[in-house]
Every structure is written in C-alpha cells, then in structure tokens.
Amino acid sequence: MNPDEIRITLKPQWWWPLVAGVLVGLILRAVYSGRPGDLFETMSGSFALLAPIAVSAVSVFVAELRARRTWAYYFWMGALVNVLFVVGTFLLHIEGLICVILAAPLFAIIGGVAGLIVGAVFRGTRWMRQATYCFALAPLVLGVYEHYVPLPQTVHTIERTITIAAPRTDVWDQLMTASAIRPDEMGDGLMYRIGVPLPESALAGEMPDGSLVRQIRMGKGILFDQVATDWECYRRVRWQYRFTSQSFPPRALDDHVRIGGEYFDLLDTEYSLRPLGTRATILRLSMSYRVSTRYNWYAQPVAELFVSNFEETALRFYARRAEAQAGRFSGKR
C-alpha cells in the first residue's frame, strides 16, 4: 500500500465527527454529575453553556481532518451532534425525558453557533488542534470557579383569568374538592405532555387548628400539601406549598426540574372569585415561582411558558367542572 492509499485509509469516515462529539459530551456529562451545591453539578452554567461548544469543536475538528467544510456544515454539524449527545444521555438512563426535551433546543442552538465560531477559528489560524484542546477543556477549567458563585434567585408572577358560566359557590366547591381527576381533563397541558405525572386529586379540608390545607395527589406517588395563608370563603384563597422528603418518590420527576428544588420552586398560588351577575364567575389564578440557574435568560422564558400553560389548563378544568355542577343543580330545580 503506497503512502497516498494509507492517508485515504486513515481519513475519518463521515460519521466519525458525530461519534467523537457524542463521546466528548458523554464524558463531560460524567464529570458534571454532582448534586446541587457540589463541585461540577449537572445544572451548572459551565456545563450547559460550554459543553455544547466543546462537543461542536471536537466534531468540526474531526470533520476538517477529512476535508474543508462549508459554513452550513459547521452550523448543522454542531447542532446535530449536540442533539444526539442529549438524546444519548436519555438512552443511557443518565437523564430523564423531561430534561432532554428542555435541554435539547438550548444545546442545539449553542452547538450550531459554536460550530460557526470554531469553523472560523480553524479557517483563520493554523492551530486547529490547540484550539480544539482549549474548547474541550474550558468547561472543566471554568467549572471549578463557578462553584463559588451563588445562584440567582429570580421570582416571577403570572396571572390568568377565565369567565365561568356558574355561580361562584359551584366554582369554590371545585377548588376545594377536585376529586378523581381524569387524564383527559388535564392531559392537554404542555407539562403533562412532556412527562410530568398527571394530577389525580386536589382535596381541601379544615384542620383542627382552624387552618385550611389542600392535599395534591399526582401520578407516580407524588403527594404534597398547599396551606392556605389567606382565605375568605367563596371569595379568595392563597396557597403556599409544603413539601416533604417523601413528596417526590425516586424517578417521579427529574431532579433538575423538581418543584421546591434548588433550581425551580412554586412559591404561592392564589385563586380569587368575582361574581358576574348571579350565574357567572370570573376566576383569577395567580402563581409566583422562582427560577435559579446560570442561564435564566433561557430557563425563565421556558418556565413562563409552562406555568402560564398550566394556569390556562387548570382554569379550563375548573370551568368545565363548575359548569357541569351548576347544570346538574339547575336541572334538579
């Protein structure tokens, strides 16, 4: 075999850039396996923002060993290899489906842009290998220092309203005793479509000390309380959330998106009822939540999308049930 044939044989195949990039991503994910507060925690900005760059850099470098690539190739290779890397963490049971769905767009966008930047560096310098080393090691180097920077504590509030063709007494009854919730009643919500367990019941009761507590039961054994901090019968109620170590059984929710966790929390939920004549009610739902990540510019809009959609789904649920109850009572009369 002559030297030219040897060089052709050693050139990477078309799929080598994908394999190389995915392997680098999985290695970085293995390093970034710490829990909240640990060194190299999974939700750190050094991983979420720099790992896609490292994955793209390695993929583009391997591709350039075979031939000069186009700008379109740089972008789409960077985006594709990062999506494959994120999906790979799910197939290997490292991440849950919810995290994969939420992370894939972020990694794809950063990876695509990074592919263009890396391609420009490779075209403008002769230090392809050295530049690749720098891109690949950046998440590890910066991850050590990020550990000492506190997480932001950003709180937002979202409100939604709905007009219900039922007296507020019927609406209030449903807010207090939402039992035997069927999958078709709430299943169209975005959060449930991506894998969050469906609610099964929301039942309120007055405690011996006079407090009002509503117990929320969801699929996969999720169970927690909402404690009323301010309420007036048939007019308004504000709930604060009370979680215990048993509220979320293992694998019920991805740890990274668990309510009441380090990165996301629901602070309070308020329902207010205003009569509209004698046979209609305006129901307002207001929810305050906290988002604490290094990339709130991405996490906050995503959280807002899901929280607002949940509010709309919940309001439609209460409207249907209250109107059905009002119809039954009017029929009896």
The residue among 146, 179, 211 that closes a domain is 146
Domain carrying residue 71: 10-146
* 4 lies in some domain: no
174 pLDDT higher than 70: yes
Do 181 and 275 belong to one domain? yes
Do 140 and 161 belong to one domain? no
For 41-69, write each residue's pLDDT tens digit.
888 999 999 999 999 999 999 999 888 89
* 91 lies in some domain: yes
Contact 173, 273 (CB under 8 A): no
Do 280 and 230 belong to one domain? yes
Contact 258, 248 (CB under 8 A): yes
The residue among 77, 111, 146 that closes a domain is 146
Q: What is the model's pLDDT at position 9?
A: 47
Q: What is the model's pLDDT at position 18?
A: 93
For 269-288, write each residue's pLDDT tens digit.
999 999 998 889 999 999 99
Do 50 and 165 belong to one domain? no
* 1 lies in some domain: no
Tokens 């910066």 locate to 142
Which among 57, 52, 75 is positioned nearest to 135, based on CA atoms? 57
314 pLDDT higher than 80: yes
For 99-128, write each residue's pLDDT tens digit.
899 999 999 999 999 999 999 999 888 888
254 pLDDT higher than 80: no
* 208 lies in some domain: yes
Do 30 and 46 belong to one domain? yes
Q: How far apart are CA 222 and CA 200, in angstroms?
A: 10
The residue among 120, 146, 172 that closes a domain is 146
* 3 lies in some domain: no
Which among 157, 187, 174, 186 is positioned nearest to 214, based on CA atoms? 174
Q: How far apart are CA 110 and CA 260, in angstroms?
A: 28
Helix, strand, coil % in the chain, rounded to nearest 5? 50, 20, 25
**Number of folded domains that form the chain:** 2
Contact 217, 180 (CB under 8 A): no
* 245 lies in some domain: yes
Tokens 């929280």 locate to 307
Do 140 and 245 belong to one domain? no
72 pLDDT higher than 80: yes
CATH for 161: 3.30.530.20
Average pLDDT, the chain: 89
Three-state DSSP at 205 gives strand
Do 140 and 180 belong to one domain? no
* 137 lies in some domain: yes
| Count of residues in the chain | 333
Do 118 and 171 belong to one domain? no
Find the range with the poorest average confidence among 79-83, 118-122, 127-131: 127-131
Q: How far apart are CA 191 and CA 306, in angstroms?
A: 6
2 pLDDT higher than 60: no
* 72 lies in some domain: yes
Do 233 and 311 belong to one domain? yes
Residue 322 tokens, joined: 């209250």
Q: How confident is the model at residue 93 (pLDDT cuts 50, 70, 90)?
A: confident
Do 102 and 50 belong to one domain? yes
Do 49 and 122 belong to one domain? yes
Residue 222 tokens, joined: 């999720």
Do 180 and 278 belong to one domain? yes
205 pLDDT higher than 70: yes
Q: What is the model's pLDDT at position 329?
A: 60
Q: What is the model's pLDDT at position 5?
A: 45
